[in-house]
Chains A and B, each alone.
Chain A
Amino acid sequence: MPLAIQFEAMAEDALLLRFGSTIDSAINARVHAAVSCLRQRWPTLECVPAYASLLLRFDPEQWQRPDEGTPHQHMGDAVLEALTDLPLAPTNSRLIEIPVCYGDTDGPDLAEVAAITKLTTDEVIARHCAAEYRVAMLGFAPGFPYLLGLDPSLAVPRRTDPRQRVAAGSVAIGGNQTGIYPDELPGGWQLIGRTPLRLFDAATDTPSLLTAGDRVRFHAIDQPTYRQLATGHAP
């Protein structure tokens, strides 16, 4: 597949690469393949992946050349060259397993999701655990993953009355995506469960449990297991 990348000089130190204009797993996988390729080539280059695009923040002085071209043009040329033979998906992405206690107080909207999707709560859980997801991007709050790969039968609209406080670790569905609230935050997604894992800890060298491009799987745990895992790393 020939690479069709659109370039946009977005700011003095920022170049946006667009790989498409839709939320699509194949396009997103391409974005992450590009990130790993570019980070390998230029370790200090800041790459900000999103669903179908990738923002590069660079030092314009380093990309100044004596000829006529602008730093953005030089950067764009070098990027295109680096991305020749870009694989369809990142070859080295991690698979992270996330334990989730579904339903009850940990997932207060599970019954509603089941009602909307005309499934039993057990079927919702089984389908949520069956899929392999990819972290399309992190945003909204530090460490919040937008996950692609939700079973289409589980897509539900966002709540009409967003909550002021969603508990940290809540696993939720919003539209055709699923995500995890890393911290107590306001939120409008439907909460189906909660993970005891800590998603974001700024005090560590690798603050985010998940990084964009990672693959994710959920597995169901019961409440005693949740409590056991949660106390293992109480803040």
Chain B
Amino acid sequence: MSVTVIKPGLSSTLQDAGRAGHAALGVGRAGAMDGPAWQLANALVGNRAGEAAIECTLLGPTLKFTHASVIALTGATIGAHANGQSISMWTRCYLPAGSVLQLGGMHIGCRSYLAVRGGFDVAPILGSRSSDLHAKLGHADGRSLRAGDELLIGYAAPLKWPPNPKKVQALRWGIDPLTWFDFAFQPIALLPGSHFQQLDDDSRQLLLEGKFILSKDSNRTAGRLDGHMLKLRQTLELVSEATLPGTLQLPPSGQPIALLAEAPVTGGYPRIGQIAAVDLPHLGQRRPGDTVCFHLSTMDQAASRLADRQRRLARQIDIVEQRLHEASD
């Protein structure tokens, strides 16, 4: 069983939870930019937690499925058709053998996730199937998918669903995307970074009250923020230290840069903030041109919102499992 890439889309890569634990070797984590959306896509097809899914960016790929397959799409709202028939998101869908799945542009958001029941049978590198474009790790040395690529699908126990195996079809039940997608572009919670206090007064105010625009130079490594240049009260001579996804850096140009999933493991720019982990998936869904605002948060608030999100996610996955058990078997 496999999937053949007919058109690759803008930048489609395999992603999972990422490559944790190797930063000391200069290897970053990578992984899905919108973790909850990726996890829910896996849950919807009944995969083990942790299977890789295809992360599509702005424009999705066109894929041909050799065998009958069970798929799910989550994340950014994307136009999806299989054999000409519209495909619903946030639910489980069935594609008969030979189906061509056409993923189009995204109406809202930047990244959609396509999980396939059985997962992608790609050799893990350092414990992960995530593609790291910069470090060239992952499927096909970490590059994005290309036309002609063939991805093997792993084994999964066959389902008794659907009743008619010749037709593209979906469950009548799905997850409410409002719970898992930030359609309102809410302000992003920011923990003050090591050099936050070194910003001059105007810059501190702009950072917390101004509107930034995600620049077109943004990618999985970093989101560059246009709109306001920020200044430190004095130039700092810093020694490189560890950086993380979510680290908000201020290079000498004055343009703030938010490090994202493929953040380098070390950096020498002033760190003016750290984006709350719970809001990183929301930032990962902003498109170039979308607005980004920040509000100051404390570690306690950030940690408790994250713990709450994790509880809700675990409960959502339980509900999905129960509903699918009732609906599919």
Instruction: Show the binding face of A for B, using Cβ within 8 Å.
Output: 8-14, 16, 18, 21-23, 35, 46-55, 57, 60, 70-72, 137-144, 146, 183, 200, 202-203, 207-208, 211-212
**In the complex with contacts A9-B299, A11-B191, A48-B23, A183-B136 CB distance below 8 A:** yes
Q: Beta-carbon contacts of B269-288 to A below 8 Å, as 1s and 0s? A: 00000101100000000000
B264 within 8 A of A: yes
CB distance from A17 to the nearest CB of B (A): 10
User: From A27, which residue of chain B is reached at the shortest CB distance?
Assistant: B239
Asked if B266 contacts A11 (CB within 8 A), the reply is no
Q: Are B24 and A211 in contact (CB under 8 A)?
A: yes
A191 to B24, CA, bound (A): 25
Give the distance in Å from the alpha carbon of A64 to the alpha carbon of B26 in the complex.
Answer: 29
| A48 & B299 in contact (Cβ 8 Å cutoff) | no
B306→A12 contact, CB < 8 A: yes
Question: When A and B form their complex, what is the total count of cross-chain residue pairs whose Cβ atoms lie within 8 Å?
Answer: 111
Q: Closest residue of chain B to A202, judged by CB?
A: B125
- Beyond A9-B299, A140-B266, 16 additional pairs, beta carbon < 8 A: A11-B244, A12-B302, A46-B24, A50-B240, A54-B242, A55-B23, A55-B244, A57-B20, A57-B23, A71-B303, A138-B25, A139-B26, A139-B266, A142-B26, A202-B27, A207-B126
In contact, A70 and B300 (Cβ under 8 angstroms): yes
Given contacts A11-B274, A51-B240, contact A138 B24 (CB under 8 A): yes
- The contact sample of 27 A-B pairs, CB cut-off 8 A, is A10-B244, A10-B274, A11-B191, A11-B244, A11-B274, A13-B277, A23-B239, A48-B23, A49-B24, A50-B239, A50-B241, A53-B241, A55-B23, A55-B242, A70-B299, A70-B300, A138-B265, A139-B266, A140-B26, A140-B266, A141-B134, A142-B26, A143-B25, A146-B240, A200-B25, A207-B27, A207-B126
A208 & B239 in contact (Cβ 8 Å cutoff): no
Report yes or no: B20 in contact with A50, Cβ–Cβ below 8 A: no
The answer to whether B244 and A46 touch across the interface, beta carbons within 8 angstroms, is: no
Known: A12-B302, A22-B239. A202 touches B137 (CB 8 A): yes
Check B246 against A48 for contact (C-beta < 8 Å): no
B328 within 8 A of A: no
A202 CA / B265 CA spacing, docked (Å): 17
Report whether A141 and B26 are in contact in the complex, using a CB–CB cutoff of 8 Å: yes
Residues of chain A within 8 A (CB-CB) of B274 are 10-11
Contacts of B244 in A (CB 8 A): 10-11, 14, 55
Of the listed residues A11, A50, A211, the one surrounded by the most CB atoms of chain B closer than 10 A to its CB is: A11
State whether B26 touches A144 (Cβ < 8 A): yes
Check: B135 CB closer than 8 A to any chain A CB. yes
B241 touches A142 (CB 8 A): no
In Å, the complex CA distance between A20 and B281 comes to 34
Contact, CB under 8 Å: A142 / B239: no
Q: Does B194 contact A (CB under 8 A)?
A: yes
B119-159 interface code vs A (CB 8 A; 1 in, 0 out)? 00000011000000011110000000000000000000000
